[in-house]
Chains A and B, each alone.
Chain A
Amino acid sequence: DSGVTQTPKHLITATGQRVTLRCSPRSGDLSVYWYQQSLDQGLQFLIQYYNGEERAKGNILERFSAQQFPDLHSELNLSSLELGDSALYFCASSGGKPASYEQYFGPGTRLTVT
């Protein structure tokens, strides 16, 4: 158990819909990262937050947005869903200890768009 929690574990929805994925980082970690894993694109970085502020952006679509709340949990919002958005979405956290760079991943949310 990495200490990172993600809900829900599975999500099945229709095209055009909007969903919210939730992540709680490990206790003490200030950074939260979102990654997408799909068969054709592999593991791709989407976005990172550090202590409530956006730190870095990767290949995140405009239809996707995220935020980190004061209690450090984070949400990834996916809207106008398309079939190609079906993927495993991971949240990871790091930064709990000084000079600690390891990122610990949650169990992931498997999104299926039908």
Chain B
Amino acid sequence: AQKITQTQPGMFVQEKEAVTLDCTYDTSDPSYGLFWYKQPSSGEMIFLIYQGSYDQQNATEGRYSLNFQKARKSANLVISASQLGDSAMYFCATAPVYQGGKLIFGQGTELSVKP
């Protein structure tokens, strides 16, 4: 079975500073992916970044980077230079890497960016 743990229900960050959102995972799948999604107050789920378990390098997408530490089973999201528009819920998820793995989500972290 797969499980995602996000231990930070809520976080604050000052605008223009970097912030790290924690995520630990547990999975028995030999090959898996780790995902981060953003959910603003409007409700949509926005895909941010993906890391494959066999990828050697940490994934980056613009201001988002995924700090993947396989031995520690952690997949933290780092947002650099926070913006007011980054205020949202952030969900970490995992899925087995084959054609069509279902996503298992954590409970989410609510990030608030202060001006």
Which residues from chain A sit less than 8 Å from chain B, CB to CB? 2, 31, 33, 35, 42-45, 48, 50, 55-56, 58, 88, 90, 92, 94-95, 101-105, 107-108, 110
Contacts and interface: CB of A to CB of B under 8 A. Distances in A.
A50 B99 contact: yes
A-B pairs, top 6 by smallest CB distance, nearest first, are A105-B45, A43-B105, A45-B102, A31-B100, A101-B33, A107-B44
Given A102-B50, A107-B44, A58 B102 contact: yes
A42 B108 contact: yes
B90 interface: no
Interface of A: prevailing SS: strand
Contacts of B103: 33, 35, 43, 45, 92, 103
Given A42-B105, A94-B100, A101 B43 contact: no
Interface string B90-113: 010101010111111101100000
